[in-house]
Structure 1
Amino acid sequence: MLLTLTTTHHPATDLGHLLIKHPDRVQAFDMPVGTAHVFYPEAGEQRCTAALLLDVDPLKLAAARGRGRGRQPATTPESFTLGRYVNDRPYAASSLLASTLSKVYRSALRGESRERAELAATAIPLEVRVPVLRCRGGAEVATRLFTPLGWTVTATPVPLDELQPQWGDSRYVDLTLTGTVRVADALNHLYVLLPVLDDAKHYWVAPDEVDKLLRAGAGWLADHPERGLIVRRYLAHRRVLAGQALERLAAQRPTDEPIADDDVDDAPARETAPRASLAARRREAVHAALVDAGARRVLDLGCGGGALLATLIGDRRFTEIVGTDVSTQALAVAARRLRLDRLPERQRNRVLLWQSALTYRDDRLRGYDAAVLMEVVEHLDPPRLPALEDAVFGHARPTTVVVTTPNVEHNVRYEGLPAGAFRHADHRFEWTRAEFANWVERICATYGYSAALHGVGDDDPEVGVPTQLAVFTRT
């Protein structure tokens, strides 16, 4: 995989001082998955190009994956048995290249240059090219991510087969960025956004990745219009980590609206005009269902980082709002998101956060007007679903229960989502419309509820809405 960085700044060979790599030498660096090479295809006073080539050794890559076996995200190309050996990792830019960039150009990423300190702090004309980049969502997503950072973006889809144009485009693009940017900023943009576009990190995402992201995104990520998408993808859709990162970014922008919930289905492949994300439309639909039901005391079961809670707390019709989650970290993120420590006492007393597992009966959850399971049920292993059903519909028995879950039939409308893959690495299943309707019917018959089915998002005549919603009413 290849990345080139070109400048026409005069003298152009000063690029070597900024990257701290001499234009007259070819340098090699041993990496965990192969060898990285830095060389200069052209190095003149008028124009200079530095090339970073990562030569991936498939055996080293397989060994590295083996050491982390069982911990990689389910969406990586290595998820199937032979995928450790047969994949696109040696050929297409991905998180492997971003990781290499951070090691080979470490000082340049920090903006350090002993010989050209003043130039390192100066924006210069640059052209970046990544000839083969795995890009989930296509060229349009690459444009959305780089344009707000001052780049002119040319993202050309790579055809599946040049000799068979009727086959259409592949999931890869040939990316060229041009702009007047500091070298350190350019490298940090690439370090963050290459794995975001790939959307399949090659290593386990640990909590310290939040600090890495915020460090590399300093000065630009907090104000980026796609910061929610960037954070979620960079952190491999890990809800708690994404919530922490978005909360810290929100603190840098005190006038922000509440941060978006962690979701992967909020970026349809092609949109002709800005619109509310699917996550936002889902929260609006749930809120409307609760209002229509006349609920005043509400449970948000599996509340995560508190996105729905932030919506509900703004409506004074709800006199008591309880968020529950099995994760104490998620509850801490929700508390920060809601700024509970800063709310007036009357407001603060309306909101409670409890640690509770949805597969166990909890007497504290009895007697409420309504309960919400928003994008929760699909995170349970199917054998554990009956325990949740009993705990919520059998034991807690709220008057109204609102449930949302993905419509798996709609997944074909998301470019870059492999056939048979789920929208989130942690999903254990996703239902068709018929399967969801059958589940709803069974719940009603078993626990004494009636139900109405609705949808959230644009209704596709062939595959339906992206999100299914059911409102259960106790009879």
Structure 2
Amino acid sequence: MLLTVSTTMNPATDLGFLLFKHPDRAQSFSTASGTAHVFYPQADEARCTAALLLEVDPVTLAKSRPGTSHVDERAYASGSMLAVALGSVFRTAMTGRCDSRPDLPGTAIPLSVHLPAVACNGGVDLAERLFAPMGWQVEARPVPLDPALPEWGDSRFLDLRLTGTQRLADALHHLYVLLPVLDDTKHYWVGEDEVAKLVRAGGDWLPAHPERDLVSRRYLAHQRGYVRSALTQLTELDGTAEEPEVTTTRPLAAARADAVIAALHEVGARRVLDLGCGGGALLERLAEEFSEVVGTDVAAGALDAAERRLSRLPERVRERVSLRHSSVTYTDPELAGFDAAVLMEVIEHVDPPRLPAVERVVFGVAKPAHVVVTTPNVEYNPLLGSAATRHPDHRFEWTRAQFQAWADGVAERTGYTVRFGPVGPVHPDLGPPTQLAVFSREEA
């Protein structure tokens, strides 16, 4: 099975520095599936092409899979075996490290990726759905079963070419995750560690991918427990894919952020806490609106994703934001004294017995002048095609009456007043998709 990666950046031979493989030297590596060879069919300043050729012994492969023939297509079609070889041979390149050219890994370069034979259970349409959202131009054509006998039709394999301007590390991560997804099978046992692999390789792009659920299911061999775990972690990294989208002129995630920011401006906040900030989607907007912003999350991976997101902001905006590893259920004295705190789609991720701890930490210890809380309205779920909760990590979802009862109780016990508002289109009977409460400390 063969993979080639070409570039026309100037000088194109810098591809060798990014891959940690010298263009003048062919190299071979032993992998779990066979022998991987790396060589350069072309290497000059105008164009450079690196090739990864994986040789798999079909007899050895057949012996490892009792009951299969010595003639096995998997020895020749790109899938999970090539993905594993890619991850092994180009491990350093995938981390974005380049000692000789430290500025190169962060630079998007023109790339062309060619896979002459890719196992694909889903055809050309699936290849486009998986790769196009990341900015790739996808050219795919089915490989005929036998070119001499066209009446036999096409095989399930594709000749796939991807072109686009990408960071090389991103391109390698796309291939590492999506090759086995195209095939919808893996040549090895899928265990719990595969969840970590998926989140690590896809954390920068998969959370917002429109086929995130399909990718997770196929990558994790349709094992529901692992899929739920992966989707929970990916959602925490995103902050925009919390629930099914509401049909409106503005996406619900954006409308929710608009409502939160409007509430913060209404109360005159300047110093703001984003509690449970996840991957930093709201932080990015808060940084542009307020003079000091602190984002907190209990998940270190979420904070890493938020840091990467914030790094793209202009320096004058980025310096307004700091990140802190903290939980909404544990006291953190450093979070006291702010004008406002935001818990946007956070409380439903807390087990109900732990809600008094959230109340004590946020309203009793941090004690900001104002607190803005949003949470799903479960009554609206039938309009989203969901009879249950909107996300597998939600411990509960409240009706409007339940949310107001909780908020009124918190306000009465902690010396705050509270008012409520809708977020998103309001149904005459079922209310809005998201409900919002703004708490104000009585002496504020």
Same-fold call, TM cutoff 0.5: yes
Q: CA deviation at 1:314?
A: 1.0
Q: What is the TM-score of this pair, normalised by structure 2?
A: 0.56
The CA distance in 1 between the partners of 2:330 and 2:401, in whole Å, is 28
Match of 2:305 among 333, 353, 362: 333
Q: Which residue of 2 aligns with 1:319?
A: 291
The CA distance in 1 between the partners of 2:84 and 2:192, in whole Å, is 19
Q: Which residue of 1 aligns with 2:397?
A: 430
Pairing 1:389–2:389 present: no
**CA distance 1:211–1:375, shift in 2 (3 Å):** closer
Residue identity matched to 2:284: A
Match of 1:350 among 317, 320, 333: 320
**CA distance 1:203–1:225, shift in 2 (3 Å):** closer
Q: CA deviation at 1:146?
A: 7.1
Pairing 1:230–2:212 present: yes
**CA distance 1:108–1:357, shift in 2 (3 Å):** closer
**CA distance 1:227–1:104, shift in 2 (3 Å):** closer
Q: Which residue of 1 aligns with 2:239?
A: 261
Checking the alignment, whether the CA contact within 8 Å between 2:235 and 2:242 is kept in structure 1 is no
**CA distance 1:341–1:458, shift in 2 (3 Å):** closer
The CA distance in 2 between the partners of 1:281 and 1:37, in whole Å, is 56
Pairing 1:293–2:275 present: no
Q: CA deviation at 1:453?
A: 1.7
The CA distance in 1 between the partners of 2:311 and 2:183, in whole Å, is 33
Please report the RMSD computed on the Cα atoms of aligned residues, expressed in angstroms: 5.1
Q: CA deviation at 1:191?
A: 3.1
The CA distance in 1 between the partners of 2:413 and 2:207, in whole Å, is 46
**CA distance 1:453–1:322, shift in 2 (3 Å):** same
Pairing 1:207–2:196 present: yes
Q: Which residue of 1 aligns with 2:277?
A: 303
User: Any gaps of 5 or more consecutive residues in structure 2?
Assistant: 1-52, 89-111, 142-154, 163-171, 185-189, 217-228
Q: Deviations over 1:3-25 (max 9, x none)?
A: xxxxxxxxxxxxxxx999999x9
The CA distance in 1 between the partners of 2:159 and 2:315, in whole Å, is 44
Checking the alignment, whether the CA contact within 8 Å between 2:280 and 2:305 is kept in structure 1 is yes
Checking the alignment, whether the CA contact within 8 Å between 1:306 and 1:333 is kept in structure 2 is yes
The CA distance in 2 between the partners of 1:330 and 1:225, in whole Å, is 11
Identity of aligned residues (%): 40
**CA distance 1:130–1:231, shift in 2 (3 Å):** closer
Residue identity matched to 1:236: A
Q: Deviations over 1:234-280 (max 9, x none)?
A: 3822447973xxxxxxxxxxxxxxxx525331545xx6x9x543222
Q: Secondary structure at the match of 1:282?
A: helix
Q: Which residue of 1 aligns with 2:21?
A: none
Q: Deviations over 1:353-383 (max 9, x none)?
A: 2233222333322222111011111111111
Match of 1:467 among 401, 417, 434: 434
**CA distance 1:106–1:239, shift in 2 (3 Å):** closer
Checking the alignment, whether the CA contact within 8 Å between 1:407 and 1:433 is kept in structure 2 is yes
Instruction: Report the count of equivalent residues.
Output: 325
User: Any gaps of 5 or more consecutive residues in structure 1?
Assistant: 1-17, 41-49, 53-99, 111-119, 132-138, 154-175, 196-200, 215-220, 244-259
The CA distance in 1 between the partners of 2:160 and 2:424, in whole Å, is 38
Q: CA deviation at 1:452?
A: 2.0
Checking the alignment, whether the CA contact within 8 Å between 2:330 and 2:357 is kept in structure 1 is yes
Pairing 1:398–2:392 present: no
Residue identity matched to 1:264: E
**CA distance 1:36–1:402, shift in 2 (3 Å):** farther
